[in-house]
Amino acid sequence: MNYFSSNFKLGILGGGQLGKMLLAETRKFDIQTYVFDPSMEAPCQYGATKFFIGDLMDYDSVYDFGKKVDVLTIEIENVNLEALEQLEAEGLKVYPSPKTLRLIQNKGVQKDFYVENQIPTAAYKRFASLTDLRTEIEHNRVALPFVWKCAQFGYDGNGVKIVRSAEDIENLPNVECIAEQMVPFKNELAVIVARSVSGEVKAYPVVEMEFHPEANQVEYVICPARIDCHIAKKATEKALQVSQAYNHVGLLAVEMFQTHDEDILINEVAPRPHNSGHYSIEASYTSQFENHLRAILDLPLGNTWSKVAGIMVNLVGEEGFSGPVVYENIEKIMAIDGVIPHIYGKKETRPFRKMGHVTIVNENMTEARKIAEEVKNTIRVIAK
């Protein structure tokens, strides 16, 4: 298929910031982009060739959208899989495939998949509801503390809570969930793996993530991770093992824990561009977004090496502010060498909502980390 100077149409389910950054890379390829999202305010509304509004979980809406395009991809996992399965059965190229998404969309199924494929992960138990989990706690069949995760529809720290006492589950939703053993870890790491339709595979360098203590959101993504070479090698090997087991097409972001015993445990995966790869837009030879496109279009994958050290700072809404967004002191951080802000275009801010990110590139990692701290302490996402 000719992707260049043609009528080729790429469909993207989801119109958030990941889609917006993906659209920026499609400009290189001269392809039409159709985006489908439930919100009129979605960041993708301006960048797509055509923008459609509808429910991502509605069979007819997703199916009808899929009939308009030549290749269909996602920027969010929570989509109607039955519609994707029907579209694929009718010959549409859907990447990642609904088969892959079925193994990932539900976190309980995802954890079972690791066990079945001898992939190391933290011990866990699955529950059909919070009521069932409460009963197990009352009978001392679940050890405290543990990490509670809702099985579906969690994102950016939503749907995850550390449970230290029985009272901590009182306000959680009564949904299917898992109770995961808390892992005393040394580092949280991630590796993004690109896999093309033809099976070409390339991994990005291991990144290290620093988290906000309360919001359970990543504050900094650091590339390359400040870890020993043998740990980086082990983490990359585990990520490639996971990628091979899923046999996905496109990107797979593999999040993992480095334990104090230097083991690598898989936490969870995302079959799409990911927050842990945003640094790659400025710091890598080929960004994660371009490689996602190359992979799903079955073009040769680009070089995943870094040109320079990169640190990403997430811009999230400040606590105590909700309403029309204001980026306070953005001009101050833009005056610093190697600081590049990305504003996602969301009109309304609220506490901890992801509103943008800033990449810091520098040949010196220590200096980059210092500047990242300065950026974090200078720019504020507030409301009018």
Q: HEC string of 285-337? A: CCCHHHHHHHHHCCCCCCCCCECCEEEEEEEEECCCCCEEEEEECHHHHHCCC
The annotation status of 267 as a binding-site residue, yes or no, is: yes
The pairing of strands 380-383 and 32-37 is unpaired
Residue 199, C-beta contacts closer than 8 angstroms, at least 6 positions apart: none
Residue 23 φ/ψ, nearest 5 degrees: -60, -35
Question: Do residues 187 and 224 make contact, with C-beta atoms less than 8 angstroms apart?
Answer: no
Task: Spell out the residues 6+ positions from residue 370 whose beta carbon is closer than 8 angstroms to its own.
Answer: none
182 is in an annotated binding site: yes
Q: Strand 218-223 relative to strand 309-316: parallel, antiparallel, unpaired?
A: antiparallel
Give the integer Cα–Cα distance in Å for 330 and 355: 13
- Annotated binding residue 118: no
Task: State the greatest distance between any 2 C-alpha atoms of the chain, in Å, as a whole number.
Answer: 65
- Give CA–CA dist 313/278, Å, rounded: 10
**138 labelled binding-site residue:** no
Sign (positive or negative) of CA dihedral 60, 354, 288, 160: negative
Is 181 annotated as a binding-site member?
yes
| 149 marked ligand binding residue | yes
What is the torsion angle, in degrees rounded to the nearest 10, for the CA atoms of residue 151, residue 154, residue 158 and residue 160? 30
DSSP 8-state class, residue 284: B
Q: Output the 3-class SS for 74-94.
A: ECCCCCCHHHHHHHHHCCCEE
Compute CA distances 237 → 59, 60, 142, 265, whole Å.
Answer: 38, 40, 32, 12
Task: Answer yes or no: is 332 a known binding residue.
Answer: no
Binding site residues, as ranges?
107, 149, 180-183, 188, 267-268
Binding site residues for ATP, as ranges?
107, 149, 180-183, 188, 267-268
